[in-house]
Amino acid sequence: MKKVLIITAIIITLLVYSKSQANEVVIIPENSLRFRVIASSNNVDDFIIKNKVKKVVEKELVTLLKNAKDINETKEIIKENITNINKTISNTIGEEDIDYDVNFGFNFFPKKIFKGIVYNEGEYESLVITLGQGNGDNWWCVLFPPLCLLEENPNSSDVEYQLYVSRIINSFK
């Protein structure tokens, strides 16, 4: 009887584990462009500054990129506007005495799982803003295909989110 219970427990554990792994969907194409903001540290003041920078730069990028038809056009628009992005960051930080770095190139991103979609870790072409020491938590999204604003609807289900992401990606193939 003990053997049957142990075997049943192992089978149930394996089924639960495989189901949780099956729910993770990887659909972000390798040829994507990401945007990341890294806080100087995890203290409250640095977190607030990171969120301010994220909001204003994201808003600027959404406006700049709303008519971009492909990844090459997206890259060109960002390159042409790096000076403006720097000015936006500088104006947002204001009188705070914080250094920052803007890097548009290949940068490391940690793995992220959001609403059942896996965004794999790795080196990705991206726009990365590092505030201060860059030792704090980061926020990031995918600029192309344009997925940055999807996180704004926290009430959507995982399935709704995955379907929406799939539709956006398929429209840019």
Please report the pLDDT score of residue 171 as a whole number. 55
Listed residue (39, 38, 47, 80) closest to 61, CA to CA = 80
Please report the pLDDT score of residue 19 as a whole number. 45
Helices (H) and strands (E) in the chain, counts: 5, 6
Q: CB–CB of 11/117 below 8 Å?
A: no
pLDDT tens for each residue of the chain, 173 residues long: 666 556 555 666 555 444 444 455 556 667 788 899 999 999 999 999 999 999 999 999 988 988 888 889 999 999 999 999 999 999 999 877 889 999 999 998 888 887 677 778 889 899 999 999 999 998 888 888 777 754 544 555 554 455 545 555 555 55
Please report the pLDDT score of residue 153 as a whole number. 47
DSSP codes of every residue in 66-78: TT--SHHHHHHHH
Please report the pLDDT score of residue 26 as a whole number. 53
Q: Enter the tokens of residue 102.
A: 């803007």
Q: In what order do the strands lie in the sheet with 138-144?
A: 100-109, 122-131, 33-38, 138-144
Which class for 131: exposed (0-12), middle (13-18), buried (19 or more C-beta within 10 A)? buried
Q: Enter the tokens of residue 104.
A: 């548009």
